[in-house]
Amino acid sequence: MKLIIATHNPGKVREFHALLGPLGYDVVSAGELGLPEPEETGATFEANAELKAQAAAVAAKLHALSDDSGLVVPALDGAPGIYSARWAGETKDFAAAMQRVADELTARGHVPTGTPAYFVCALSYADARGVTRTVRGEVHGTLTFPARGGRGFG
């Protein structure tokens, strides 16, 4: 079955292909199909994931899968939240985004290391008519500085 991954991010496409290819899915990205990226105007991770999946599914008349994810820091009133990628800027510099998290926590009188935070991922599936099913997962923990790892928010 052909399945659109509603993204233009080649790294994300590779991840989905590695997960779904062995299950028999023919994974193709919205970018490969020349589909435009819809503006993420939703107020939640779920709304943005649904928006992207529906746009790709309806445009290509195929099934589509999309996600929206980000870091939530309650001490920053939930920021960066749905704006996580924007905090990383045009170049997707997540080290800079994490530095901003640390700076903003410090400015509010918090010690950045040990501050509670969680990562959210909403995954949305849309059929060719745009009917969606969406799930949300969260991983809770605390922040560590300097950030570890070389992907995303560390």
Active-site residue numbers? 68
Q: Are 5 and 64 in contact (CB under 8 A)?
A: yes
Longest alpha-carbon distance in the chain: 52
Structure tokens that stand for 23 in this block: 């299950």
DSSP string covering 36-77: PPPP---SSHHHHHHHHHHHHHHHHTSEEEEEEEEEE-GGGT
